[in-house]
Structure 1
Amino acid sequence: MAADARDHVTDGDRSGRAAHGPAPALRRVDADPATFGAPAWHALARPADARSEDARPADGDTPGEVCAAAPALVLLPEAAGPREAVSRLRAHGCCYPSAGADGAEVAFICDRGGVPQLWAGPVNSAEVRLLDSSPDPVTEVSWSPDGRWIAYTTAPGGGEHSRVLCVRPDGSGRRVLAGADPGSTAYLGCWSHDGSCLAVTVTAPPARTPGEAQGLVPVDRGPADSPLDGALPPAGWADRGGHATLLGASSYDAGTWHGPTAATGTAAGATSAGPTDGTAPAAATVRPDGGLSVYLIDPDGLTSPALLTTETHAATLRACDLSRDGSLVLLRRGPRGRREAVVRRTDDATATFALPVADGDPWIGRFSPDARTLWLRSNADREHAALLAVLLDADGRPEGASDDLLEAPRHTSVVAEREGCDLELLAMAHDGRTAALAWNTRGASELELVETFPAFWGVPARQAPDRTGPARPVPLPHEVVTRVTAAGVGRLLLALSGSQRRPGVWWAHEGVSLLRTPWSSRDEDAVPPGRPPVRPVPLRLTARDGLPLSGWYYRAPGRPSSVPAPCVIHLHGGPEEQERPVLHPLYHELTGRGLDVFAPDVRGSSGHGRSFVDADLGAGRFAALDDVADCAAHIVTTGLADPTRLAVMGRSYGGYLTFASLVWHPDLFRTGVAVCGMSDFLTFFAATEPWLAESAAHKYGHPDRDRELLRSLSPMTRVDALRVPVLAVHGEHDTNVPPEESRQFVRAARERGLAAELLTLRDEGHDFLRADNRRLFRRAAADWMERHLLL
């Protein structure tokens, strides 16, 4: 699609310049004193028609590497749609709202046309408009502070590679800002406060030699016992536009050997290890893994993208906020379970502050208007995330701190906390005076508003870092808040979900009486008439090693409570996700077939404290497998479930647990349905995206250093113990967990004479986003369960 888009560009740019060709290489330059008072990124950017003959890394850049080419702006044909979807779903979901400059209009994601698309409309009118009618699912939305542009992220073809686009509020001027090149991925960061630039994270595909691209040259991927073993990719290898490599593996670049790359544990931003045999030149090299880079991009295309920061071997990297003068950027980086907030100066790329933050929502914090206080949602030195305030000096360092960033925690103050509850979402009003806090209370949400510096407004923030006004609770009509954002002066937008409703968007002025937007589904539209959704009840139990566990139980209607039911244990992904009391169409389908559903949080899940999240690290995963069996034992001994009619099911990490449970506990379950699950950790690490591998290594183990542990934890290692039928479901474009993970398990089951099927969903990746595919998946899974548990 990217190539076609470049061939059919129309001149719709305000500057009158065509958007053909790559953007010029950028160099970081010092801010001119004459520009003081203007946003700092204006000193970084250059006219778009400027060209640099020098591609050398600038001072302050990571030495020994060349940054990937800056993203090129690509104009696209107009794609605004009708005011209503051509084929509208009876019950649709609306989520991820972002308000215009005055808060009167909202851009949001809605699947009323069968796929999540970008829509916009007033908060108090049902008159909405479709801004992009293309079939690519939309995943994130952000309206610029000046109201001129709406930026959004899409997943072309439904896969895992994403791109960032922007469009004007009337649907005109649609263009790709980043991610147009095949194999690259881009996702949203924050806007500058004046709306002139958007921060975008870009992942570049690793370099390949021409011979590799044609499949003619063997690729050295590490030790001799590696699944690839220095040979060509095995059958089933999916060419995704960019090689995924084992962590710490070797690579070629244009035929030149550059030695092993840095392994996990290398400091963020550190360069890859150099050559060890003296054959490679000392000149800069292209990053083998492509790395992650954050650029500031002018959506009008008047200036070239400005590089804020780049990191090799990065698991995640997102710009969450820019100070109002543009001198500081707040970044979120790090692998799962080890995220951190980093403050970096934009003029010289110096990191001035770092602090651990919790997993979950990537929007971790914000600077105060004067940038002298940083508000963060963090679980540093804590079991549960709280609201912290960090005092900063004029250079962005914690006040009174030495140069040692490890001292940062002592310069923080806890300004809002709840015993046993995580601060899940943090949103700040545009003027910085009010914070909206969403707390996770045993899976449900509680929302409150607090004033920041209430008695000291007008006094420098550093004089009152730990003062907030009294909390004002905001009553919620449904159980879970998935997003909070400011919308003009005194107005909030909330994305809500619950056990009896489809996701929708609500708004409130000054935090009183939430009102449903007219374009969100009504509660009575959640499911077809005559069969209301089942409201789940919480269950608590204790694992065999004494760890408290919990979950939600969905009882199929029509069966007496005294009669044990056939039951499906459903395991969520992550593993850092959490079961929430929201409407699950899959659960509704299963309960409608007469099957109960128990959805537990086994160890490793979020929402229960940091120790619970870390309880499955490394060899702790064996205990997580025992948790699944303990959950089954609990619902049987309490009389809820029939021990002879149990099944296990899950998606992503839950798909792995499904495969694993069937071979670790072969006599416990009658069948299983594994969705996008890993069946062999070593083949998973060999084939997943490099940045995902970096993130997963902390959770599961390193594929080189911990090979034996990963081998022993892999379901394929014990597949001979499989005794029951299995259904695997996978998206054809999944590059997070490649489809071969399902194929090899199904193939092994069939070789052992067992019934095993694989359902591959077209135009889907790791998440199933299209209505027809979601419906097909639910019905196929329910048919399979009904066949093996009821007939």
Structure 2
Amino acid sequence: MARVKTLTVRAGLGALLSLGSTGCAHAPVLGAHPDADSPAYVGKALVTGSRSTQELFAAYPRREPDSRLAARLGEILADGGKTLHWSASGSVESFQHGEVTIPLVIRVPPPCQDRVCPVIVFYNGACAPPRYHWRPEFFLRAGFIFVEPHIRGNRCDEAWADADNGSRKPEAQTDIEASGRYVRTRFTRDGVAPKVGILGWSYGGNQTLIGMTRFAGTYDAGFALSAKTDLLSFFQNAPEDLRQARAREYGDPDTEPELLRSISPITYVDRIQGPLALMLGGRDPKVSLSDADVFVRRARARQQDVSLMIVPEHGHLTEQPGEIVFEHAHVIQFFADRWGRPVELH
């Protein structure tokens, strides 16, 4: 088994800082993301296929979440950790994946300290130590263990952030598989393995789709939000300024089409084993609704449990309280339903 380093929260902060962490902190005030309303994040989702935007909206309609669950999440969000703040406690561990050391922030709710609980592995591009935040708080209160791997590509320092750029990305993506396998082993008790889910928004949503396709079987279920399903198709049809801005990280569609195919979830859609949900915004200029439509139809043709919801009013970033509650109520309900668990929030 891989060597484990377990640190206190204070020591964990030092461990992350020792990586040269310059990752972005969460916005200090909900809804205060400086770019949330900019044209780069709110506009019009890409539609290039035979079905129009309105036809896609109708095919994958917006659905209201469970009202009681949404109301409870709203209360937790508004409370801001004053009454209960389980997410402020956690540890930083690391494991070896070949020659690469991957840190993870791990939060375990008190009821799960001595029993097997489902685990949510959350991917994003940041590199923050344990502290209170409403997102892990939601999941901890719902009875999930919450793990955030800082894999290659996370903004821990410049070298780590660039470690998955271009031709390095196919190898760097194996961190997703390694993290899922480590987490399952880490939280197995008396021979009983937990259910392990994968979750992410935007960059993390792409990681989620790769985890459920290229590395199918590593995770039991996945939920991807604001994610691209076909990087080659998206960048072939994206505005030139966006193509140029992302070419160094993902590849140039004119000169490196095979690279983009190799790192795209659509390439591995036939491998999907567990339930997968996607949610996209109709006003998100960083995604293609048409590509998602192709992805879902291919999966369903193989009788795979894949769903898509398009929320017409959502852009790329969802920092407003109403958006946060809407999305997370759907996400928590999805994992609970797929694993036969009642949703009870502490």
For the 8 Å contact 1:677–1:741, the answer to whether it is kept is no
User: What is the match of residue 725 of structure 1?
Assistant: 275
Residues 591 and 681 of structure 1: CA distance in aligned 2, closer, same or farther (over 3 Å): same
Superposition deviation, residue 528 in structure 1: 7.6
TM-score norm. by structure 1 comes to 0.34
Give the Cα–Cα distance (whole angstroms) in 1 for the partners of residues 135 and 41 of structure 2: 21
1:650 aligns to what SS in structure 2?
strand
2:223 counterpart of 1:673: yes
The answer to which structure has the higher helix fraction is: 2
2:114 is aligned with 1:565: no
Deviates more, 1:609-618 or 1:562-571: 609-618
2: CA distance, partners of 1:726 / 1:154? 29
CA contact (8 A) 2:93 2:106 kept: no
| Pair 1:545-2:98 in alignment | yes
Which residue identity lines up with residue 615 of structure 1 in the other structure?
Answer: A
Q: Which residue of 2 aligns with 1:342?
A: none
* Structure 1 portions without partners, runs of 5+: 1-92, 96-109, 117-137, 141-152, 162-182, 184-231, 240-522
Q: Which whole-Å CA distance do the structure 2 matches of 1:646 and 1:686 have between them?
A: 34
C-alpha distance in 2, partners of 1:94/1:709? 34
The one-letter code matched in structure 2 to 1:666 is A
The whole-number CA distance in structure 2 between the counterparts of 1:671 and 1:154 is 31
Determine if contact 1:603/1:615 at 8 Å carries over to the other structure.
yes
Q: Which residue of 1 aligns with 2:21?
A: none
- 1:581 partnered with 2:130: yes
Structure possessing the higher radius of gyration over alpha carbons: 1
User: Could you tell me which of 79, 100, 104 is aligned with 1:525?
Assistant: 79
Deviation at 1:746, TM superposition (A): 2.4
* Match of residue 145 from structure 2: 596
Change in CA separation of 1:524 and 1:233 when aligned onto 2, cut-off 3 Å: closer
**Offset at residue 686 of structure 1 (A):** 2.6
Q: Deviations over 1:33-86 (max 9, x none)?
A: xxxxxxxxxxxxxxxxxxxxxxxxxxxxxxxxxxxxxxxxxxxxxxxxxxxxxx
- Range moving further from structure 2, 733-742 or 773-782: 733-742
- The percentage of counterpart residues that share the same residue type is 20
Following superposition, the deviation at residue 527 of structure 1 comes to 4.3
- Aligned twin of 2:332: 782
Task: Summarize the Cα distance change of 1:601–1:689 in structure 2 as closer, same or farther, 3 Å threshold.
Answer: farther
Alignment counterpart, residue 651 of structure 1, candidates 179, 183, 201? 201
CA distance in 2, matches of 1:629, 1:752: 23
Q: Find the aligned partners of 2:130 and 2:92 in 1 and give their Cα distance.
A: 12
CA contact (8 A) 2:187 2:193 kept: no
* 1:773 aligned onto 2:326: no
Q: 1:711-732, CA deviations, whole angstroms, 9 ceiling, x for partnerless residues? A: 1221111111111111101111
- How many residue pairs get aligned? The number is 290
Match of 2:161 among 596, 613, 624: 613
Matched residue, 2:42: 160
1:770: how far off? 2.9
More relative contact order, 1 or 2 (CA 8 Å, 6+ apart): 2
SS in 2 for 1:558: helix
The one-character-per-residue Cα deviations of 1:463-486 (angstroms, maximum 9, x if unpaired) are xxxxxxxxxxxxxxxxxxxxxxxx
The alpha carbon displacement at 1:790 in A equals 4.5
Q: Which residue of 2 aligns with 1:637?
A: 185
- 1:201-230 CA distance string (max 9 Å, x none): xxxxxxxxxxxxxxxxxxxxxxxxxxxxxx
The question of whether the paired residues in 1 share the 8 Å contact of 2:94 and 2:103 is answered with: yes
- For 1:697, the equivalent position in structure 2 comes to 247
Q: Is 1:686 equivalent to 2:236 in the alignment?
A: yes
For residue 139 of structure 1, what is the amino acid of its counterpart? P
The residue number in structure 2 matching 1:367 is none
Q: How do 1:142-157 and structure 2 match up within 5 A?
A: 154-155=37-38
Q: Deviations over 1:384-412 (max 9, x none)?
A: xxxxxxxxxxxxxxxxxxxxxxxxxxxxx
User: Residues of 1 paired with 2:27 and 2:170: CA distance?
Assistant: 39
In structure 1, C-alpha distance between the alignment counterparts of 2:313 and 2:116, rounded to whole Å = 40
How many Å apart are 1:159 and its aligned residue?
5.0
1:235 matched to 2:130: no
SS of aligned partner of 1:570: strand
Query: SS at the partner of 1:139?
Result: coil
1:541 to 1:685, Cα distance in 2 relative to 1, 3 A: same
The alpha carbon displacement at 1:536 in A equals 4.0
Report what 2:294 is aligned to: 744
Of 293, 304, 308, the match for 1:754? 304
8 Å contact 1:566–1:646 — kept in the other structure? yes
* 1:129-159 CA-partner distances (Å, limit 9, x unpaired): xxxxxxxxx836xxxxxxxxxxxx9448x95
Q: Is the 8 A contact 2:87 2:131 kept in 1?
A: no
RMSD: 3.0
- Whichever structure has more strand as a proportion of its residues is 1
How far residue 769 of structure 1 moved from its aligned partner, in angstroms, is: 3.1
Q: Which of 173, 176, 183 is 1:625 aligned to? A: 173
In the superposition, the TM-score normalised over structure 2's length comes to: 0.74
CA positional deviation for 1:701:
0.9
Aligned to 1:535: 88
Structure 2 CA distance for partners of 1:596 and 1:741, relative to 1, 3 Å: farther
- Partner of 2:277, secondary structure, is strand
Q: For 1:264-293, what per-residue CA distance to the aligned partner results, in whole angstroms no more than 9, with x for missing partners? A: xxxxxxxxxxxxxxxxxxxxxxxxxxxxxx
SS state of the match for residue 660, structure 1?
A: helix
Counterpart of 1:703 in 2: which secondary structure?
coil
The residue identity in structure 1 corresponding to 2:226 is C
Q: 1:687–1:738: 8 Å Cα contact kept in structure 2?
A: no
Tell me the CA shift for residue 566 of structure 1. Answer: 1.1
- CA–CA separation in structure 2 for the residues paired with 1:671 and 1:719: 14
Query: Could you say what secondary structure the match of 2:222 adopts?
Result: strand
Q: Alignment partner of 2:299: what SS? A: helix
After superposition, residues 2-81 of structure 1 pair within 5 angstroms as: none
> What SS does the corresponding residue of 1:664 show, helix, strand or coil?
coil
Taking structure 1 as reference, are residues 747 and 621 closer, same or farther at Cα in structure 2, changes over 3 Å only?
same
Q: Against the structure 1 CA distance between its residues 584 and 743, is the aligned structure 2 distance closer, same or farther, given a 3 Å change threshold?
A: farther
Task: Using the TM superposition, give the Cα deviation of residue 238 of structure 1 relative to its aligned residue in structure 2, in angstroms.
Answer: 6.2
Deviation, 1:656, is: 1.0
Distance in 2 separating the partners of 1:779 and 1:524: 15
Residue 34 of structure 2 is matched in structure 1 by 139
Find the aligned partners of 1:736 and 1:663 in 2 and give their Cα distance: 21
